[in-house]
Amino acid sequence: MPELNRPVTEVAAGILLDQDGRYLLGQRPAGKPYAGYWEVPGGKIEAGETVFEALQRELQEELGILIDSCEEIMVLEHDYPHAYVRLHVNIIRSWQGEPRGCEGQQLSWQELLADKPSVEPLLPAAWPMLEKLKLILN
């Protein structure tokens, strides 16, 4: 629970899963909090948007793809110095187009079966998402 009066930033995170058992991480661009850290693609949910709409918009902006659907796997909260965030974590299995770093960010496909990602550091709140992903897909 956030401390009294601390605003909650609602965020949608989309784990793209391909047919070879891989998921996608992106590196946060310069100028954002935690620049250089790796994360699951996504971003803040705007007023009036559903989680699906937010993911459609964010992944189009960040990766140049159009997602067809999403499945929520967990909601998790994390207290950062710059914000208290509530992350709506979704799996995305179907999309149009080939993901590319539209904001100049690096992308990296990761093996689901690997012990840990081959890139680092990861945003602190990305770790529980990956653990949950492994749990439900095993």
Ligand X SMILES: Nc1nc2c([nH]c(=O)n2[C@@H]2O[C@H](COP(=O)(O)OP(=O)(O)OP(=O)(O)O)[C@@H](O)[C@H]2O)c(=O)[nH]1
Q: Which stretch binds ligand X (CB under 6 A): 38-46, 66-74, 91-99, 112-120?
A: 38-46
Smallest separation, CB 96 to ligand X (Å): 21
Residue 39 lies near ligand X (rule: CB under 6 A): yes
Find the binding residues for ligand X in span 58-87 (CB under 6 A).
78, 80, 83, 85, 87
Q: Using the rule CB under 6 A, is 125 a contact of ligand X?
A: yes
Which residue, chain included where needed, has tokens 């690997």? 114
Distance CA 38, CA 26 (A): 5
Contact call for residue 40 and ligand X (CB under 6 A): yes
Binding of ligand X at residue 57 (CB under 6 A)? no
CA dist 24 and 125 (Å) reads 16
Q: Taking CB under 6 A as the rule, does residue 16 contact ligand X?
A: no
Which residue from 85, 63, 89 is spatially nearest to 74, judged by alpha carbons?
89
CA distance 59 to 67: 8
Tokens at 70, concatenated:
């999403």
Strands 84-92 and 8-16, bridge-based pairing: parallel
Nearest CA to 87 among 17, 9, 34?
9
> Which range binds ligand X by CB under 6 A, 41-49, 92-100, 113-121, 130-138?
41-49
Q: How far is the CB of 39 from ligand X (least distance, A)?
A: 4
Residue 99 in contact with ligand X, rule: CB under 6 A: no
The two tokens of residue 49 are 């948007």
Instruction: List interacting residues with ligand X (CB under 6 A).
Output: 11, 13, 32-34, 39-40, 42-44, 78, 80, 83, 85, 87, 123, 125-126
